[in-house]
Structure 1
């Protein structure tokens, strides 16, 4: 009786196809990771720009506020050419943060002193064409 040896021979095509599949999957994962990192980077830049614009508007409003004297405030505000509203015995200074938002500094005069009531960010109203 002759004994036949049975061996499993893997052809050269199967390992190559498997290796191509692994490389393709790794390439796809690397591309997705790169796109995600780029998205986070862009988001961080947008947030940084918004924060910068907010602090610039806040600095401008505080500079104007610190230069005010309690007497004849309206005349001082008109000379500084800043947008303001006087309502309920409170002054509201308004500065634009960007095209979508305004920053409002509200203060009032009490006992010959100026007192800040609030800082408030508000979205600008979009005028409807109707």
Structure 2
């Protein structure tokens, strides 16, 4: 089997997909526009895409599953600042004085995700 998409329920698929498109640098699927009930962020192979689907109910509790992102072009702290500027919210800061740790952010619909140290930071 191949994991084709990670599907995320949300109130505004285009808005949330656009946020994640900016975070990842991955494009929206051709033809996806505001108001669509489903919007796809197309990931490079072999990674699964991110499919955002409109649902009537809002998020009520902590996610049962979330993304852990590892920056490839920036440090963890640079990536956190970049994503905050795109509209994320700081949820929990688990950074330690010795440089270890991660940061938990919330996307515009309050879905939790983490930003870890980059490979370069781990190897230093």
Q: Please tell me the TM-score bracket, short chain as reference.
A: under 0.3
- The higher relative CO (CA closer than 8 Å, separation ≥ 6) is in 2
Task: Normalising by structure 2, report the TM-score.
Answer: 0.26
Q: Which of the pair is proportionally richer in helix?
A: 1
Which of the pair has more CA radius of gyration? 1
Task: Normalising by structure 1, report the TM-score.
Answer: 0.25
